[in-house]
Amino acid sequence: MRFPFSLTRSMALYMLRKKISGQKKFPLVLMLEPLHSCNLHCSGCGRIREYADTINKHLTVAECLNSVTECDSPIVSLCGGEPLLYPEIVELVDRILRLGKHIYLCTNGQFLENRLSDFIQLSYKNRRTKRKMFWNVHLDGSESLHDAIVEKPGAFVKAVNGITAAKKAGFYVYTNTTLYKKTEIAELTDLARQLEQIGIDGMMLAPGYGYESVSAESFFLTREETYEKFKSVRKLLGQFRMTATPIYLDFLCGERKLPCAAWANPTRNIKGWKSPCYLVTDRHYATYRDFIELTDWSRIGHGNDPRCEHCMMHCGFEPAAVLFGNRLRDLIRLAIWQIS
């Protein structure tokens, strides 16, 4: 199975409940950023630039849990910054799992091997740890490309050692790779092969997008370049365990249009609820309710906001692929993809 059965079941039941209730806009994944500080300084990172003035501040555990309850999505993605630098990360994971949520713990992998024993300990106390928490490790390509992008020699090897240790310890482990102009897809097949041998559960590929705080035209993909890259991805990486749904992949290849559904992946951080989306910022709201009700959703997406023109990112369009791909043919493709 592409994703564990418990996650698929929770998501399917949640979406069914929302459909029956007639609610139009609801969250699928909460992007929770307890802190923005990080041990790396990646070329493509918007967070450490946009939040430089609050980089040393943290949300408290209570603030994080309030946000999880307020938003009430079935999945919480703990990101940042580097979440393993958050002093109460183990307690936070434990308490979010006890709220019945699934967790993607996004990390650059540099502390994964060293901190793993804390999560193994947690798994003795909270049996949901290995069933409902998934490591999501950032790897931007082969060793030389990754180390150049994160601007740290040795970072790739450290992350791969962490992934190997986490798999050996019985955790779910996914990887997360951003594609930039200089990413060679043929080179990514070597990475996919290496990760497959380690036994990772899936590989997420995202098109690099030059949003406000990191705009650099020579670095990020235009929409047309994204189409070309992902057509090669489909051809060369199709046999590996990619986590992009077939509908989202159609969109990335330019074969299908989707509206932006950024409201389904809200971001909460030290400044509040980031509006309109994970990538661009007009303002931060104090509550989830204000975020969802006061953001003008008609103004985002392709053709509506020039900042969105080249964006094809997960945070806007992966939920749209799930929520709006509801023709029978799409549902059958999705089901076959999930069990393959």
Would you tell me which residues interact with ligand SF4 (CB under 6 A)?
A: 38, 40-42, 45, 47-48, 80-82, 108, 138, 150, 260, 262, 276-277, 279-280, 300-301, 305, 307-308, 311, 313, 315-316
**Tell me, what DSSP letter sits at residue 39?**
S
**Residue 103 or 280: which CB sits closer to ligand SF4?**
280
Tell the residue number behind the tokens 């994964």, with chain if given.
112
Nearer to ligand SF4, 81 or 141 (CB): 81
Q: Minimal distance in Å, beta carbon 217 to ligand SF4?
A: 16
Give dist(CA 124, CA 266) in Å, integer: 31
* Integer Cα distance of 296 and 294 in angstroms: 6
> C-beta of 279: minimal distance to ligand SF4 in Å?
4
Distance in Å from the first CA to the final CA of the chain: 6
Of 179, 180, 143, the C-alpha closest to 159 is 143
Give φ, ψ of 169 to 5 degrees: -80, -5
> From the CB of 281, what's the least distance to ligand SF4, in Å?
10
Residues 261, 251: Cα–Cα separation, whole Å: 14
Calpha distance 300→298 (Å, rounded): 6
DSSP helix/strand/coil, 166: helix
Query: Please, what is the minimum distance in Å from the beta carbon of residue 296 to ligand SF4?
Result: 11
Q: In this complex, which beta carbon is closest to ligand SF4, that of residue 67 or of residue 107?
A: 107
- CA dihedral 101→161→191→320, nearest 10 degrees, is 10
By beta-carbon proximity to ligand SF4, the closer residue of 253 and 308 is: 308
DSSP state of 250: H
The residue number with the shortest CB distance to ligand SF4 is 316
Least CB distance from residue 149 to ligand SF4, whole Å? Answer: 8
Smallest separation (angstroms) from ligand SF4 to the CB of 120: 23
Residues 6+ positions from 58 with CB-CB distance below 8 Å: 34, 35, 86, 87, 270
DSSP string, 122-150: HHHH-TTHHHHEEEEEE--SSHHHHHHHT
CB of 71 or CB of 262, closer to ligand SF4: 262
Q: Quote the least distance from Cβ 78 to ligand SF4, whole Å.
A: 12
Cα 305 from Cα 316, distance rounded (Å) = 13
* Contacts of residue 183, Cβ cutoff 8 Å, sequence gap at least 6: 140, 141, 145, 208, 229
For ligand SF4, which is the closer residue by CB, 249 or 280?
280
Q: Least distance in Å: CB of 43 to ligand SF4?
A: 9
Would you say 172 or 209 has its CB closer to ligand SF4?
209
Please state the closest distance from residue 126 (CB atom) to ligand SF4, in A. 26
CA angle in degrees (0–180, nearest 5) for 139-140-141: 100
> Which residue's CB is nearer to ligand SF4, number 89 or number 126?
89
Choose between 151 and 196: whose C-beta lies nearer to ligand SF4.
Answer: 151
